[in-house]
C-alpha cells in the first residue's frame, strides 16, 4: 500500500495497571491540580461564570476525595504523553480509571499476548 493510500491517523491503545501506595498523597496532588486549574481559569474576571466555576471545582474536589481512581484520572493527561513526540498532533483522547482486582500471576494479565479482543477483529471467522 502506498503512503497516499494509508491513513495519517493512528490509534494508540495503552493500558496501565498502577498500584496506589499512598492514597492521601494521590488525593492531595489531585486537589492541588484542581486549585491550580481554578487559578488559571479564574483570571478571566468573568462574574457570570464564577458560580458555575465554583460549583464545578467543588464537584471535582468531592469526586477526587472520595475515589482515588478518580484522583488518578484527574492527574493523568494523554496530551502530556505525546506533547513532546515530534511529528504528531493529538486529535482526540479519552481515558478513564477504575478500581480492579489484580493478580499479576493470572493469564488474564499476560502482556506478552496480543491484546486483541474478539470484538476488535476485522472480518475474522472466529
Q: How many domains does the chain have?
A: 1
Residue 4 lies in a domain: no
Domain coverage including residue 39: 10-117
Residue 48 lies in a domain: yes
Can you give the pTM of this predicted structure? 0.68
70/66 Cα distance (integer angstroms)? 8
Residue 58 lies in a domain: yes
Residue 123 lies in a domain: no
What is the dihedral sign for C-alpha 107, 22, 32, 51? Answer: positive
Mean per-residue pLDDT pooled into runs of 10, the chain (126 residues): 74 90 97 90 54 84 95 91 93 90 83 53 45
Residue 126 lies in a domain: no
pLDDT recorded at residue 114: 54
Residue 5 lies in a domain: no
Residue 124 lies in a domain: no
Residue 90 lies in a domain: yes
Amino acid at each position: 500500500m502506498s503512503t497516499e493510500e494509508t491513513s495519517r491517523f493512528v490509534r494508540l491503545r495503552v493500558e496501565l495497571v498502577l498500584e496506589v501506595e499512598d492514597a492521601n498523597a494521590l488525593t492531595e496532588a489531585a486537589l492541588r491540580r484542581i486549585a491550580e486549574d481554578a487559578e488559571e481559569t479564574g483570571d478571566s474576571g468573568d462574574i457570570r461564570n464564577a458560580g458555575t466555576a465554583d460549583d464545578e471545582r467543588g464537584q471535582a474536589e468531592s469526586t477526587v476525595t472520595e475515589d482515588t481512581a478518580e484522583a488518578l484520572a484527574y492527574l493523568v493527561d494523554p496530551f502530556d504523553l505525546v506533547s513532546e513526540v515530534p511529528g504528531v498532533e493529538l486529535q482526540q483522547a479519552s481515558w478513564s480509571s477504575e478500581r480492579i482486582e489484580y493478580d499479576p500471576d493470572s493469564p488474564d494479565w499476560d502482556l506478552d499476548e496480543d491484546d486483541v479482543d474478539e470484538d476488535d477483529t476485522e472480518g475474522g471467522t472466529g
